[in-house]
Amino acid sequence: MGSRMAQRLLAAGHSVIGYNRTRAKAQALLAAGMEWGDSPRAVAAASEVIFSMVTNTAALEAITGGADGILAGLGAGKIYIDMSTVSPAASRAIARAVEAKGARMLDAPVSGSVITLEEGKLSIMAGGDRPAFEKVLPILQAIGPKVTHVGANGLAVSMKIATNLSLAVQMLAFSEGVLLAEKSGIARETAVEVLLNSVIASPMVKYRGPFVLHMPEDAWFDVNMMQKDLLLALELGRQLDVPLPTTAIANEMLTTARGMGLAEKDFAILFEALARMAGMKHE
């Protein structure tokens, strides 16, 4: 996802300097005109607007802290935008450290898939200083056309968590429907076609629902990543006294998938886990 965002920024005419732990994975971007930074600090020092997108809270803390971290390269007037889905509390703590450097931070996670991004339909939510948001809005719109300021630091991450919990819940419900129809005697392909043209076909279900027929070799968003987001949701729910019963059930089904050795598969593999429990084989 991050590499494709960089591609869109380059295509929009922005000068981009980037860093990745594995330089070989950035070769296509370097060939497209991106400059290379030797560390997160180097990228931050050379840039007016700094983006990051990493796997989890620990990874974010790793790239922001330390002698070679983003914080070390920040200065007055710079704007740091983190697009990761992480703990809201951790995001707010980093925002305070950014402000101590005279810079400003936005948490700006996205809603959508690789396909959504490539089609130019990605949705971005942003939390943090409003003037900073207004300043970088044209840059964010080069990544995705729908950009919404949702409030203070950490609230965009909270909004992303509130959004992402529905991905697994919807996928699980869709899988239940397909399996119930199939065990009733309806061909799986027919059940999928009917459901994808029914009122339950959300954008996510439309592009991920077909995975119950043919799983992609490379996961778009694997079981571990999805479960990370559900655990963030459950923790936030516990803190705010918000019951999340369907999220809890979807989380347990992801644990089931992990126990079946399916952790590296796209989280649509929930269908396979459920099918095995129903005594059926996902072909």
Catalytic residues: 160
CB atoms within 10 A of CB 155: 19
Give the SS3 label for residue 86.
coil
The torsion region of residue 102 among left (phi > 0), alpha (psi -120 to 50) and beta comes to left
Residue whose token pair is 């819940």: 169
| DSSP assignments along 176-207, one per residue | HHHHHHHHTT--HHHHHHHHHTSTT--HHHHH
Residue whose token pair is 């900073």: 132
Residue 264 is given by DSSP the state T
CA distances from 207 to 76, 114, 203, 204 (A): 43, 11, 7, 5
Cα separation, 31 vs 15, whole angstroms: 13
Q: Which pairing describes strands 17-18 and 79-82: parallel, antiparallel, or unpaired?
A: unpaired
Please check whether residue 221 is in contact with residue 266, taking contact to mean a CB–CB distance below 8 angstroms: yes
- For 172, residues 6+ apart whose C-beta sits below 8 A from its C-beta are 249, 250, 253, 270, 274
Type of residue numbered 147: V
The torsion region of residue 128 among left (phi > 0), alpha (psi -120 to 50) and beta comes to left
Residue 76 is given by DSSP the state T
